[in-house]
A and B are shown apart, each in its own frame.
Chain A
Amino acid sequence: MALLQIDNLTVQFETSTGWFKAVDGVSLSVEKEEVLAIVGESGSGKSVAMLAVMGLLPWTAKITADRMLFEGRDIQNISASERRALIGKDIAMIFQEPVASLNPCFTVGFQIEEVLRVHMRLDRRARRARAIELFKQVGLPNPEERLNSFPHQMSGGQCQRVMIAIAIACNPKLLIADEPTTALDVTIQKQILDLIMALQAKNGMGLIMITHDMGVVAETADRVVVQYKGKKMEEADVLSLFENPQSNYTKALLAALPENAKGDRLTTVSDFFDGNPEPAPSVAGLNGASA
């Protein structure tokens, strides 16, 4: 049984020009102990699909899915209280915009201790000790003092690490990390990825890693899903994706790496293919036959 299974998820928003499909019939699953990376175009529905799983989309979103199961249990039509018990505890998310996801009116210490109080029922002293331990793990300097800081008194990367500490505080079974290291330099990024991978190995946690950083994909993922314009373009194990990408979009994406710049210009997807992001029709089993 998959840890998370989503079949045919569609999310639509009403706009002035009619309904817009932000997510268009996406299916995916993650096993226990597995790392699934989701990469793809900006605006292709990666965050919206995961917010649908968390039940955090605004009421204006129209969500349909054939199935949405966590540990075999339906999470599409559960009560608000069942959802509150699940979210933040068994399923946790590192949100894409850390500064905007923290509450500006409370200290970061209060915000992490609140999660520990609600889900772990720790007493005051234990909460504080655990909060300090978590801040240490994510590499925040002077953790005791940091607990008293408000988000605006911290740097972008420090806020991101607070967000990560909050997400892993309750040892979730599934961690959804939405661009978790965008504000971190590579040394701290490495420390954070090592921490997440260690938790993943120790607790058998499933991990969905949304990222545009191909280095992060290469260093963490077992399997990769590539999204484009709300649709899943390609799904492959990590080695196959880098060695032998199938869809035109994936090929174009890899070509846009700055290290692959041709002269002064960087290539973009539109230089690479026009119109058809699907793989060119090729005889099954004969990779690259039509290339």
Chain B
Amino acid sequence: MSNDTSGNIMLELRDIKRDYELPGGLFKPKKTVQAVKGVSFKLERGKTLAIVGESGCGKSTLARMITFIDEPTAGELLIDGNKVDTRPGHLTADMRQKVQIVFQNPYGSLNPRQKIGDVLGEPLAINTDMPASERRDRANLMLTKVGLGPEHYNRYPHMFSGGQRQRIAIARALMMNPKLLVLDEPVSALDLSVQAQVLNLLADLQDEFGLTYVFISHDLSVVRYIADEVMVMYFGEAVEHGTREEVFSDPKHEYTRTLFKATPKADVDSIRARVAAKKAGKAA
């Protein structure tokens, strides 16, 4: 491949692996869980890669490795063409700002004693010399963008609904002005309208600033809408990877086909059939 195209690669994984050791019991030896068994891919700047797969197949583990939270057991990670030294303590501040994650479990990632306004303003306070009033304006603007409002500025995390906390996690990651954003089930708790608002916001930011997204989701209609490329994981391995059109129109792997088949149907005929079957079942 020529230098030109490699210069446009935002993220590259080379045979990344992650094992977890589970402590053994009294009579049992230690056990190793191979959460990610060697995944490789390249992702261009400004593109969205969606990752789907069975629960427990290693998606979040992969997300944690890309964002330097978990150290890979083996393999290489390249961001913006540079090999990242993933050993703890070797990360540059620049790298830490450039790559952000929205966790699957937003509650656990928010400090219960920190007001939401401070959660959002903190990165600006640390990394810039912006005056407090401007930080406040920026935080309020971001709150509005994710469908919350200035009235939420002084509230603590426990005072929000599940979907509101999910949006706070997204807002916090965006406040850092990342180049690469890893989103782990970011819209799973959102109603369709708020979900649409958040997905539109992500698309706008991608257009404007060329953000690159790794988007983990189990919602295939969302994936179909947002992804340029789709990767399917199964038991720690990437079993399928292609453009959105390729994967949706001609799924290669058995698991991918099972996945498409299991998607619930919300059309009126299916509902009518189910309701009738339930009535018949009761009458019998």
Interface residues of A (CB under 8 A from B): 13, 15-17, 39-43, 46-48, 58, 96-97, 99-100, 141, 145, 148-149, 153-158, 160-161, 178-179, 182-190, 201, 212-219, 222, 237-239, 242-243, 252-254, 256-259, 261, 264-270
Known contacts: A16-B154, A239-B271, A266-B199. The answer to whether A188 contacts B185 by CB under 8 A is no
- Chain B residues contacting A190 (CB-CB under 8 Å) are 262, 264
Question: Of the candidates B20, B107, B165, B266, which one forms a contact with A99 in the assembled complex, judged by CB atoms under 8 Å apart?
Answer: B107
Known contacts: A218-B266, A242-B271, A268-B200. The answer to whether A185 contacts B55 by CB under 8 A is yes
Contact string, B224-249, partner A, CB cutoff 8 A, digits 1/0?
11000000000000000000000000
Closest partner residue, chain B, to A266 (CB atom): B196
Q: Which of B40-48, B76-84, B132-140, B155-163 contacts A (4 or more CB under 8 A)?
A: B155-163
**Chain A to chain B contacts (Cβ below 8 Å), 25 pairs:** A40-B191, A41-B194, A43-B160, A46-B161, A99-B108, A141-B56, A148-B25, A155-B55, A156-B60, A184-B218, A186-B218, A188-B54, A213-B264, A217-B266, A218-B270, A218-B274, A219-B265, A242-B268, A253-B191, A256-B193, A256-B195, A258-B222, A266-B196, A266-B197, A270-B193
- Chain B residues contacting A99 (CB-CB under 8 Å) are 104-105, 107-108
Residue from B192, B199, B267 whose CB has the most chain A CB atoms within 10 Å: B192
Known contacts: A41-B193, A179-B189, A253-B191. The answer to whether A238 contacts B266 by CB under 8 A is no
Interface residues of B (CB under 8 A from A): 20, 22, 25, 31, 52-56, 59-60, 104-105, 107-108, 147, 151, 154-155, 158-165, 167, 184-185, 188-197, 199-200, 203, 218-222, 224-225, 258-259, 262-268, 270-272, 274-275, 278, 281
Known contacts: A100-B108, A149-B22. The answer to whether A238 contacts B200 by CB under 8 A is no
Closest partner residue, chain A, to B56 (CB atom): A155
Q: Are B25 and A186 closer than 8 Å at their CB atoms?
A: no
Closest partner residue, chain A, to B161 (CB atom): A43
Residue from B20, B154, B167, B219 whose CB has the most chain A CB atoms within 10 Å: B219
Q: Are B189 and A252 closer than 8 Å at their CB atoms?
A: no
- Chain B residues contacting A216 (CB-CB under 8 Å) are 264
Known contacts: A99-B107, A186-B264, A257-B221. The answer to whether A238 contacts B275 by CB under 8 A is yes
Q: Are B193 and A252 closer than 8 Å at their CB atoms?
A: yes
Cβ of A29 to closest chain B Cβ, rounded Å: 19
Q: Are A157 and B56 closer than 8 Å at their CB atoms?
A: yes
Cβ of B273 to closest chain A Cβ, rounded Å: 10
- Chain A residues contacting B60 (CB-CB under 8 Å) are 155-156
Cα-based distance from A47 to B54 in the complex (angstroms): 27
Known contacts: A42-B163, A99-B107, A238-B271. The answer to whether A186 contacts B190 by CB under 8 A is no
Cβ of A167 to closest chain B Cβ, rounded Å: 17
